[in-house]
Amino acid sequence: MKKNIESPTKPFYLITIPISHYCEKARWALDKLKITYVEKRHTPPFHLLATNRVGGKTTPVLVTESGIFIDSSDILKYLDSIVSSDAKLYPTNQNQRQEIEKLEDLFNSQLGPATRRWGYFHIMNDYKIMQSRWCHGVPFFEQAFFPILFPITRSLAQRKLNINPESAAQAYDTIQSIFEQVNKLLSDGRTYLVGDKFSAADLTFATLAAPAVLPPEHPMQGVSYKELPPKLISKIKEFRKTPAGKFVLRLYRDRNS
């Protein structure tokens, strides 16, 4: 496997809540850029112990010898600054870069919260699904505490993320509106959202849209797709049929190539 940077003396650490789509954004960037890292997975609320220790709050956090990055976009920009020019996720062309950053901001600020709120609304009351999503690869100790802590962690998350039927319906409308914007961009037959190369805009859209499309190649799988609530499955099927949904599925099929 060709590396894009010289190996640092210590591997990078990526602190995650494994199912988080913002964490998947950082994970995919590290994988794509072939950077050696160790993922430290935590279930809520244990992630707070790990993030607080290094001065962060939310996940992902990337810990490197050159600094600690506590936001997914900062992580991407840092990684971009250390890889060779042919591997970059942000082009040197300023107009394209601006377009990419604008899309990335839109996806970060609107799509990410919307897919998270809408997705959680459908699964949060199902213990088995939530356990499969929140405990994927986390330390045994945290898995052991999950049954005791889940009810309180769930209600804290519901409150913090404002998850209720009305907000979920609004989130669904937001996802649809952003998918429509992406459908429009793709309508001229382009392969990527900006320019002729995979960029931070594609990566951010694919990862933050993933909860609405559930790409089979997503590295964090919970219970099988068929075990999800039928209402959720039927909406996911609809999203998968849109040009934006097909785009996400294609990017995920190519994720590891």
Ligand X SMILES: N[C@@H](CCC(=O)N[C@@H](CS)C(=O)NCC(=O)O)C(=O)O
Q: Which residue has the tokens 């950053």?
A: 101
Backbone angles phi and psi of 163, in degrees to 5:
-100, 115
Name beta bridge partners: 41.
Answer: 16
Residue 238 sits at the vertex; the CA angle it makes with 154 and 226, to the nearest 5 degrees, is 55
Which of 50, 244 has the CB closer to ligand X? 50
Asked if residue 236 lies in contact with residue 139, where contact means CB atoms within 8 angstroms, the answer is no
DSSP code of 40? E
The reply on whether position 39 binds ligand X by CB under 6 A is: no
Task: Tell me how far apart the alpha carbons of residues 76 and 62 are, in angstroms, rounded to a whole number.
Answer: 10
Q: Residue 249 Cβ, how far from ligand X at the closest point, in Å?
A: 21
- Minimum separation from the CB atom of position 135 to ligand X (A): 15
Nearer to ligand X, 77 or 246 (CB): 77
Per CB under 6 A, 59 contacts ligand X: yes
Tell which residue, 163, 67, 61, 184, has the closest CA to residue 113.
163
Q: Which of residues 63-92 bind ligand X (CB under 6 A)?
A: 71-73
Kindly state whether residue 101 participates in binding ligand X, applying the rule CB under 6 A.
Answer: no
| 20 versus 242: smaller Cβ distance to ligand X | 20
State which of residues 58, 158, 183, 221 lies at the interface with ligand X (CB under 6 A). Answer: 58
Binding residues for ligand X, rule: CB under 6 A, are 17, 20, 22, 58-60, 71-73, 108, 116
